[in-house]
Amino acid sequence: MKFWKYTLLPIITAAAVLSGGCQSGAEEVSEPEEPVIIDPATISFDWQKAFESELKDFMGSDAYTPKKKGNVQPSMFDICDLDGDNVPELIISPNTDAASSCTIYSFADSVFSPVGELGSYGSFNFLPDLHFMNEEYNGEGFIIGKYVTIEEQKLKPVLTYSDNTASASSGARIVHEINSDEVTLADYDAALAQFNGSHAYKAGRKYTFGDETIKYAVYSSEAWGHVLSDEQKSLCRGILQTAMENANSADKDAAFELCDLTGDNVPELIISEGTGESDLCKIYYFNNDEMTLLDGNYGNGGSISFDIVNKVFYSSDSSQISYWCLSNADFSAADYESSGNIMECGRKYLLHENNIALALNENGTPEAETTAAAEEE
């Protein structure tokens, strides 16, 4: 696929005026302004070095399981703001065994520390609207689970629950419990109702382990809103607001993400329709003074996989895997070999107003802005 992209870029240098040798009365001619792309890696946050160090230490530990030939890498990780303080947490998923939980780390007041362990099969449910996390186990005829949040860099229980209604056919006594107290079915359902209406997704397994995925996740993924120009942000906001209105009308759990699919330090905007099997992703790119929708259908289940090294993204269904590359006109899927540095794209943020402002850094992050200014001087 051949693909050319034109971008709006922040201007940080003034145009020079050509005046030497001009005759009196001649019109002055200005040189065209040269746009400058800001590398997201020049935007720094206090937590980055600690996250990078922990990820690399884990790769050198016995708990790390490298990629097995023909399979998805067992060990993966995620970087996600779980408590809503605008500072992300680091999540490490050792593998996908049933008993495998995620280890969560936080960075607060210049202190990096483990928060606790949560989940099974290498992931847990995250409810971003509430900033709650959920762990649930379905056994033979029963279910047990809990909701937790993060306070003072520790997992704090919000609610625990258990129910064995599925054992009714065996003659077992049916018991519903909330916070270890036996309750009626009506009270049990009422206690869980506050969570059931919130969108949730599996957290813990966004990135495979590798030098380039660690580099991108730690030093670029959280910085796109700090390097886009005001014009670029306005274009993104317009597209996202329209998509949000459409998603609300269709009652879809749409999401979005900024991700550089071409390696030019200018991100594309990926909008995920939802998490249904047939839900696709729409990809927009900056094109002069507008954002253009990339032709074609992309993704499966509302996300795409992206090879950070080869700049190839792909999705699979029951019958095939489809590959695309926007940076290489001579790309051939038949010749593609994975670098192993893979990330899932499309669902970093649920498509809500507050997340749009967060992703575009419309409220500003002082330490990031100061660093960017220092880089420009």
Which segment, 65-69, 137-141, 156-160, is predicted with the most confidence on average?
Answer: 156-160
Helix (H, G, I), strand (E, B) or coil at 4: coil
Per-residue 3-state assignment (H helix, E strand, C coil) for 264-280? CCCCEEEEECCCCCCCC
Contact 319, 290 (CB under 8 A): no
- Please give the average per-residue pLDDT across 197-212, as a whole number: 93
The per-residue pLDDT for 71 is 52
Per the model's pLDDT, the better-predicted residue between 29 and 288 turns out to be: 288
Asked if the model's pLDDT at residue 5 lies above 60, the reply is no
SS (H, E, C) 97-120: CCCCCEEEEEEECCEEEEEEEECE
Gap between the Cα atoms of 106 and 87, Å rounded:
8
Q: Give residue 365's pLDDT.
A: 57
Q: Which residue has the tokens 């200005």?
A: 30
**123-159 in b/e burial notation, b at 16+ Cβ within 10 A?**
bbbbbbebebbbbeeeeeeeeebbbbbbeebebeebb
Work out the pLDDT band at 104, boundaries 50, 70, 90.
Answer: very high
The crossing angle, in degrees rounded to 10, of helices 211-219 and 48-59 is 160
Q: What does the angle CA 260 – CA 247 – CA 135 come to, to the nearest 5 degrees?
A: 80
The pLDDT of residue 37 is 87
Q: Which two tokens stand for residue 118?
A: 């949560």
Is a pLDDT exceeding 60 seen at residue 176?
A: yes
pLDDT classification of 375: cutoffs 50, 70, 90: very low
213-241 pLDDT, tens digit each: 999 999 999 999 999 999 999 999 999 99
Average per-residue pLDDT in the chain?
87
pLDDT of residue 15: 30
Strands 29-30 and 17-18: antiparallel
Pick 249 or 373 by higher pLDDT. Answer: 249
Q: How confident is residue 33, by pLDDT bands cut at 50, 70 and 90?
A: low
Model confidence at 169: pLDDT above 90: no
pLDDT (tens digit per residue) in 108-125? 999 999 999 999 999 999
Give residue 58's pLDDT. Answer: 98
In terms of Cβ atoms closer than 10 Å to its own Cβ (0-12, 13-18, 19+), residue 270 is: buried
Low-confidence winner among 11-20, 82-91, 132-141 (lowest mean pLDDT): 11-20
Q: Is the pLDDT of residue 16 over 50?
A: no
**d(C-alpha 67, C-alpha 342), whole Å:** 11
Q: What whole-number percentage of the chain has pLDDT above 70?
A: 85
Residue 10 has pLDDT above 50, yes or no: no
Note whether 56 and 75 are within 8 A (CB).
no
**What number is the average pLDDT over the span 147-168?**
96
What's the pLDDT score for residue 199? 85
Contact assessment for residue 155 and residue 116, using Cβ atoms and an 8 Å cutoff: yes
At 27 the pLDDT is 53
- Averaged over 297-323, what is the pLDDT? 92
Vertex 97: Cα angle to 345 and 222 (nearest 5): 25
Residue 184 has pLDDT above 50, yes or no: yes
Mean pLDDT across 199-205: 92
pLDDT in tens, 187-196: 999 999 999 8
Q: Is the dihedral of CA 58, 60, 62, 66 positive or negative?
A: positive
DSSP assignment of 74-102 equals: S-EEEEE-SSSSSSPEEEEE----TTPPE
- In tens, the pLDDT along 240-288 reads 999 999 999 999 999 999 999 999 999 999 999 999 888 999 999 999 8
pLDDT at position 8 over 50 = no
Using 50, 70 and 90 to split pLDDT, how confident is the model at 361? very high
